[in-house]
Amino acid sequence: MPSPRHFLRARRPANWPARVFSFPNPVNEVSARLVAGGVVLLSLVTIVFGQPWLTAVIAYGFLARVLTGPTLSPLGQLVTRVITPRLRVAARPVAGPPKRFAQGIGAAFSVSAAVLALGFGLTGAAYVLLGLLIVAATLESVFGFCLGCRAFAVLMRAGVIPEEVCARCNNIGAELPGPA
């Protein structure tokens, strides 16, 4: 008779950390834009209704998406498992590393906002940072213009980010669909 450990090992593959702590490449641009829309809504609710505790929720979402893509992000799960599949829109794959970089910038802003609001009681300063996130996330969700992705491209051209990190990024303009 197998031991209880046998059953635990059978249910949890040895490479589970690599699966959990990975970022998708490519990324579905439709889902990325919907997540950005969710960030806009959460940030607006935080500011308009004066709920600084939500800065921690927003920060967690960004950190989760940087570390695991949508895997540990409630907003990422909602978008990728519920909303996007119900839309009758074709997937639009784009390179993952620039999107991860953009999530990292969002994490820096949102964690700073959470620390300012919850650690120091500086909600005004926190809301300024959330306002900047609202601008960037609105550009992404409404216009498909990713500020973090543009910064990633500039850093690649400057040689700060090695080309090996994202070989596909060098041809990102070729991925854009033409007029329908």
Q: How many domains does the chain have?
A: 1
Per cent of the chain over pLDDT 70 is: 83
Query: Is residue 19 included in any domain, yes or no?
Result: no
- Mean pLDDT, residues 143-170: 89
Longest dimension (CA), the chain: 63
Query: Is residue 160 included in any domain, yes or no?
Result: yes
Give the pLDDT band (50/70/90) at residue 24.
Answer: confident
Condensed to tens digits (0 to 9), the pLDDT of residues 25-53 reads 889 999 999 999 999 999 999 999 999 99
Query: Is residue 14 included in any domain, yes or no?
Result: no
Can you give the pTM of this predicted structure?
Answer: 0.83
Query: Do 110 and 59 touch, CB atoms closer than 8 A?
Result: yes
Query: Is residue 179 included in any domain, yes or no?
Result: no
Indicate the average pLDDT of the chain: 88
Domain span holding position 38: 26-174
